[in-house]
Amino acid sequence: MSEQFQVKADPELWAKLDMDVERFSNIPPMLTGVFNDVFLSQENRPQGMGYFDNMVSNIFTGRIQEMYDAREEGRPVVGTFCVYVPEEIIHAAGGVCVGLCGGSQGSIGDAEKILPRNICPMVKSAFGFKVGRICPFFQVVDFVYGETTCDAKKKTWELLDEYVPTHVMEIPQMKRERDKKLWVEEVKDFKTAIEQQTGKDVTETELKQAIETMNAKRKAMQRLNDLRHHDPSPISGRDMLLIQQIAFYDIPERFTEKVNELCDELEARIKTENYVAPKGTTRLMVSGTPMALPNWKLHNIIEKSGAVIVNEESCIGTRYYKDTISTDGTNMEQMLEKLTERYMQIDCSCFTPNDDRIDQVIKEYRESGAQGIIDYCLQFCHTYNIEAVKLRQACEKEGIPFLAIESDYSPEDVGQLQTRIEAFIEQIQD
Ligand code: SF4
Ligand code: SF4
């Protein structure tokens, strides 16, 4: 599909969503060019990537139309910014959950007209998308659900509320029993807010079904990640990152089916020794802050420098799917408790202490057969940046090659990052 690939446009639909159509019309051709360079220039990609390429082709059209139709049917379309917001409840209410974290430099200028410059680019990018009316996902949602994970986010929600109805969940910063109780109460309030939007209560059967649907999605992602750990790798890190990003805006059931189909193909490729990177290619793991669409910068640099990425310890990575929800709950109260237990296992650096994350990174390093870790921190993300100190210490103790990188979405540091990454790869090869 490489020659015909095109990110499609639908100005009529965008106008209905009150977008800045003229300005946004420049985006699909730009994204087409970048996608060709980062993804379609790769050789021997699995056939199953065709579906995910198509999802990118329809990112501003077909998928938005599906969400628009859902909204017209009275189903809530809810934007979120954190994997702590329980999407099972939105799904149980017949709604659509879409991740709105921003991964583009293009909207940062809009945000910086209002927000301070020295905050995380993910927050600025998302805010800028809404302020500039240049993101169809932001325009199609009924409301957004923010959280109190980090200072940049929680204070931005106060401003975002002027542009789109913004609710906020309080996510605890510790994991003691009293914090878990607070979190259960927050999840219950979240359920009530979604029910108020739809005008009907979520039933136990609906919640059970939604938990099973999301468990199946997470299990499919676990299966895919296990397969990519094979040495040599049957799929590139860039393609894996793309799939993990699409997980935040596709229909869960359809996505799960396509991921499982891809897994079947990868199993067959492993049997026939059909790989994307030859034996001996340096295998790296990335840990740290999430990479929202279309942030492909680091993966592109690493893999174009000759290494292959074999794991992402990230919220757009294993933190999103490593745990499933126990289905032992038989009534609403128990189901919500089991659900919150699973969510409290997400080891975001916003928690303290957070030593479980350090252990988890080392565990994933071993399981993935990586030869080094690149810890990726978005500029001005204090919690991940400080936690990198502990991670470095743990890696030094274990003899694991470690490189910490702090970056944003601008292309300015690409050359410098490339030099550091090439030196890191050489160090591992030596
Ligand atoms: S890194 Fe933390 S704040 Fe960001 S999505 Fe993950 S859990 Fe949420
Ligand atoms: S990367 Fe860090 S600063 Fe940015 S939104 Fe996530 S937790 Fe906040």
Q: What is the DSSP string of 99-150?
A: E-----GGGHHHHHTTS-SSS-HHHHHHHHHHHHT--HHHHH-SEEEEE-SS
Take residue 174 and report the two structure tokens written for it.
């510790």
Find the 340 Cα to ligand 2 centroid distance in Å: 22
Q: Is 96 helix (H, G, I), strand (E, B) or coil?
A: strand
Task: Return the ligand number nearest the Cα of 381.
Answer: 2
DSSP label at 402? E
> How confident is the model at residue 1, as a pLDDT?
46
Rounded to a whole number of angstroms, the CA Rg of the chain reads 21
Question: Is residue 149 lining ligand 1, measured as CB closer than 6 Å?
Answer: yes
> How confident is the model at residue 4, as a pLDDT?
85
Question: Is residue 378 lining ligand 1, measured as CB closer than 6 Å?
Answer: no
User: Is 6 contained in some domain?
Assistant: no
User: Is 3 contained in some domain?
Assistant: no
Q: What is the pLDDT of residues 118-177, one digit of tens each?
A: 999 999 999 999 999 999 999 999 999 999 999 999 999 999 999 999 999 999 999 999
Stretches in the chain below the pLDDT threshold 70: 1-3
Find the 382 Cα to ligand 2 centroid distance in Å: 8
Question: Is residue 120 lining ligand 2, measured as CB closer than 6 Å?
Answer: yes
Q: Is 219 helix (H, G, I), strand (E, B) or coil?
A: helix
User: Is 374 contained in some domain?
Assistant: yes
In angstroms, the Cα distances linking 209 to 88, 109, 136, 335, 419 are 9, 42, 29, 11, 49
> How confident is the model at residue 115, as a pLDDT?
98
How many distinct structural domains can be found in the chain? 1
Task: Return the ligand number nearest the Cα of 99.
Answer: 1
> How confident is the model at residue 3, as a pLDDT?
57
Question: Is residue 277 lining ligand 1, measured as CB closer than 6 Å?
Answer: no
Question: Is residue 83 lining ligand 2, measured as CB closer than 6 Å?
Answer: no
Minimal-distance CA residue to ligand 1 atom 8: 82
User: Is 345 contained in some domain?
Assistant: yes
Domain coverage including residue 55: 11-429
Residues 285 and 372 sit within 8 Å (Cβ to Cβ): yes
User: Is 5 contained in some domain?
Assistant: no
Question: Is residue 123 lining ligand 2, measured as CB closer than 6 Å?
Answer: yes
Task: Return the ligand number nearest the Cα of 317.
Answer: 1
DSSP label at 411? G
> How confident is the model at residue 123, as a pLDDT?
98
User: Is 25 contained in some domain?
Assistant: yes
User: Is 336 contained in some domain?
Assistant: yes
User: Is 156 contained in some domain?
Assistant: yes
Q: What is the pLDDT of residues 175-219, one digit of tens each?
A: 999 999 999 999 999 999 999 988 999 999 999 999 999 999 999
> How confident is the model at residue 47, as a pLDDT?
98
